[in-house]
Amino acid sequence: MTPEDHSGSQARRQHGGDRFPPSAPAGPEGAPGRAAAEPGAAQRGPHGPDGPQGPDDGLPLGEGLGSGDGRRRKKRWPRVLAGVVVFVLLAAGGVAGLVWQRQSSYNSNIDRVPGVMPTGKRPGPNVTGTENWLLVGSDSRAEMATTGEGRGVWKPGQQRSDTIMLLHLPADRRKAYIISFPRDLWVDIADYGPQKINAAFSFGGPPLLIQTVENLTGIRIDHYGAIDFEGFKAMTDALGGVEVTIAQSVYDPARKVHWQAGRQKLDGEKALLFVRQRYNLPNGDFDRIKRQQAFLRALAEKAADSGTITNPLKLDRFLTAFTKSISVDDEVSAGDLRSLALSLRGVRPSDVVFMTVPNKGSAMRGKQSVVLLDKAKGRALFEAVRTAKMDEYVRRYGGVNKTGTVS
């Protein structure tokens, strides 16, 4: 966020109750209240053209525990329901991977936020059986997490939604669609006019961000979930690290990190550096989106592999870190999470589709570098979500992000 994000705005409407009041301008992008640009920003802007797209490499969601350890093990650790469904349960919602014996403990860890859903005119109900979650990854650069157990750290105007995803679940639960919104997407925000989409979270918290997404897409959001990047760090360390593949060696001038081409093992600290980089990437923030998607894929894969789900201590460490790191809307019950996890148990790696909202790449609005929506292609995508015809949309238009190897 830059000071220009507030230009032309005089409104002081309060959104979503006292919990999320409108705020003073946030600090510069990526570092609230700090200097305007990260090192290296002058050499390369935050965005590039839309990157190449191709078939998705998939995101493993996990299998149940096998029977090789016999009836005693099966009785003690009944069945991991569905691994981790990227952010639905990697940020929004809960626990795909609930172990029956521990579900009460995990559920009590989850922070439920009241007053999240916007009031007033909203899109009509979704197609029966489908669900749409707005998933937010916030990055305050604070020393403490700002979601889950650290929710009290949230301050208006000092926390951005650096990651914004729409999770669309078809009624038959044969696929899951993860659609990322570039954080600098140029949109209309109620009472503030044209702004970057992540400004909505800074101005008015989850209610205003949800309202902004609904107004942009015409899609009704059923549930909301958020996790601070510090939460990803804790989960990564609980799993003993995750692996990603980088296409070419690259240097991050902002954090003075050299990334070597090939397979990289990330601990929690390195994972944060990996998902935060955008300078020096060929396509700027678009490549950062793919890095975030690749990281989620790797995290879910590690959480669902046999080395985790057959190791009660390791699995418990991960699920404890996970459930203590997330915040969801207060309408999400333990039964909802259990039912959702059960409904997703048949989803396989190739069934999860990562996408980015259609856009025309970067442009300037005043002194701000922004991303412009491709309105025609965007309407087609949003209509496909509303009418539960995403399979037809993908067959016709493609637009699937590769996550196996990233910049």
Pairing of strands 193-196, 186-189: antiparallel
Determine the Cα–Cα distance for residues 368 and 35; give it in Å rounded to an integer: 15
In-domain check, residue 243: yes
Find out whether 357 and 182 touch, Cβ atoms under 8 Å: yes
Residue 370 sits in which domain range?
3-24+45-397
Given a contact cutoff of 8 angstroms between Cβ atoms, the answer to whether 197 and 378 are in contact is: no
> What was the pLDDT predicted at 131?
95
pLDDT digits (tens, 9 = 90+) for 122-173: 999 999 999 999 999 865 544 444 444 544 434 555 556 778 999 999 999 9
- What are the start-end ranges of the E strands in 298-391? 326-329, 352-356, 359-365, 368-373
The per-residue pLDDT for 27 is 38
Would you write out the chain's pLDDT as a tens digit for each of its 407 residues? Answer: 444 444 444 433 444 444 444 433 343 333 333 333 333 333 334 444 433 333 333 333 333 333 444 444 333 222 233 334 444 444 333 334 445 556 778 888 888 989 999 998 999 999 999 999 999 986 554 444 444 454 443 455 555 677 899 999 999 998 999 999 999 999 999 999 999 999 998 888 899 999 999 999 999 999 998 887 788 899 999 999 999 999 999 999 999 999 999 999 999 999 999 998 989 999 999 999 999 999 988 887 887 776 777 788 888 888 888 888 888 899 988 888 778 877 877 776 667 899 999 999 999 999 999 999 999 999 999 999 999 999 999 999 999 999 999 99
CA distance 64 to 304: 9
Whole-angstrom distance, CA of residue 264 vs CA of residue 249? 11
Confidence (pLDDT) at 224? 93
- Among 115, 114, 95, 120, CA closest to 105: 95
E strands, 170-217, where? 176-181, 186-189, 193-196
Domain count, the chain: 1
Asked if the structure places residue 212 within a domain, the reply is yes
CB atoms within 10 A of CB 366: 11
DSSP 309-325: HT-HHHHHHHHHHHHTT
For residue 268, report the phi and psi dihedrals to the nearest 5 degrees: -60, -45
Q: Is residue 403 part of a domain?
A: no
pLDDT score recorded for residue 301: 80
Q: Say which CATH number the domain at 14 has.
A: 3.40.630.190
Tell me whether residue 39 is in a domain.
Answer: no
Q: Is residue 37 part of a domain?
A: no
Judge whether 372 lies within some domain.
Answer: yes
Tokens coding 117 = 């859903």
Q: What are 356's strand-pairing partners?
A: 180
User: pTM here?
Assistant: 0.74
Q: Identify whether 358 is part of a domain.
A: yes
Q: Supply angle C-alpha 18, 232, 111, rounded to 5.
A: 35
In a domain, 404, yes or no: no
Who contacts 316 (Cβ-Cβ below 8 Å, separation ≥6)?
99, 102
Buried b / exposed e over 290-325, threshold 16 CB at 10 Å, is bbbbbbbbbbbbbbbeeebbbebebbbbbbbbbbbb
